[in-house]
């Protein structure tokens, strides 16, 4: 396992070879991915995203929670006040869930999950905790209900940790509201 010193050394290699100071200040990016914290499913790596290309929001399961929605609202505000670079649309918004997720054993701890989703225990069944294809659909629907940024294509992907491939569970659909 790499130590902090190892990682600082890797950074020296990165800064010499791959770094560019020319990236626009663009916290929001043209692409936003909501993904799981699992170290096997880093969205940047499995989707081939480059630096400066995407904002990535990660939590346990890659779930869309009230906290996720608050983070997205903050990023949108940064752009609106002119600090950030305005990116011409359409934006790409992706929910990326995966097989063999830790969310599956965590389903045995409803107290933690009601806190995460900020819902009563009786509503946990609506979150499709054991099926990534179902959970992607649930979370895309939640984004469609709450995401008010116009000109955004929202989609849902499921990554298979045994094959390295993603499957489109929800095809891109346009959110086009003001």
Taking CB under 5 A as the rule, does residue 149 contact Zn ion?
no
> By CB under 5 A, what part of segment 23-62 binds Zn ion?
36, 38
Q: How many residues bind Zn ion (CB under 5 A)?
A: 3
Sign of CA dihedral 80, 143, 34, 63: positive
Cβ partners under 8 Å of residue 178, min gap 6: 148, 150
Compute how many other C-beta atoms are within 10 angstroms of the C-beta atom of residue 19.
11
CA atoms of 168 and 146, how far apart (whole Å):
22
Q: Which of these segments, 12-20, 68-76, 97-105, 128-136, binds Zn ion (CB under 5 A)?
A: 97-105
Of positions 31, 75, 101, 138, contacts Zn ion by CB under 5 A: 101
82: left (phi over 0), alpha (psi -120 to 50) or beta: left
Q: Which is nearer to Zn ion, 154 or 158 (CB)?
A: 158
Least distance from Zn ion to the Cβ atom of residue 54, Å:
18
Q: Which is nearer to Zn ion, 36 or 95 (CB)?
A: 36
3-state DSSP assignment of residue 26:
coil
CA atoms of 97 and 62, how far apart (whole Å):
6
Q: Which is nearer to Zn ion, 101 or 129 (CB)?
A: 101
CA atoms of 157 and 82, how far apart (whole Å):
32
Q: Which is nearer to Zn ion, 76 or 104 (CB)?
A: 104
Least distance from Zn ion to the Cβ atom of residue 162, Å:
14
Q: Give the interface with Zn ion as residue ranges (CB under 5 A).
A: 36, 38, 101
């Amino acid at each position: 396992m790499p130590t902090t010193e190892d990682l600082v050394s890797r950074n020296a290699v990165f800064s010499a070879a791959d770094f560019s100071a020319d990236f626009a200040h663009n916290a929001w990016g043209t692409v936003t991915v909501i993904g799981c914290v699992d170290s096997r499913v880093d969205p940047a790596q499995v989707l081939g995203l480059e630096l400066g290309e995407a904002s990535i929001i990660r939590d346990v399961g890659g779930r869309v929670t009230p906290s996720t929605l608050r983070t997205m609202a903050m990023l949108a505000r940064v752009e609106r006040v002119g600090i950030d670079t305005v990116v011409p649309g359409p934006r790409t918004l992706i929910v990326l869930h995966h097989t063999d997720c830790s969310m599956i054993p965590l389903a045995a701890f409803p107290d933690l999950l009601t806190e995460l989703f900020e819902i009563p225990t009786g509503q946990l069944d609506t979150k499709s905790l054991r099926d990534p294809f179902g959970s992607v659909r649930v979370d895309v629907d939640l984004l469609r209900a709450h995401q008010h940024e116009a000109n955004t294509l929202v989609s849902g992907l499921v990554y298979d940790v045994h094959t390295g491939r993603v499957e489109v569970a929800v095809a891109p659909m346009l959110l086009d509201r003001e």
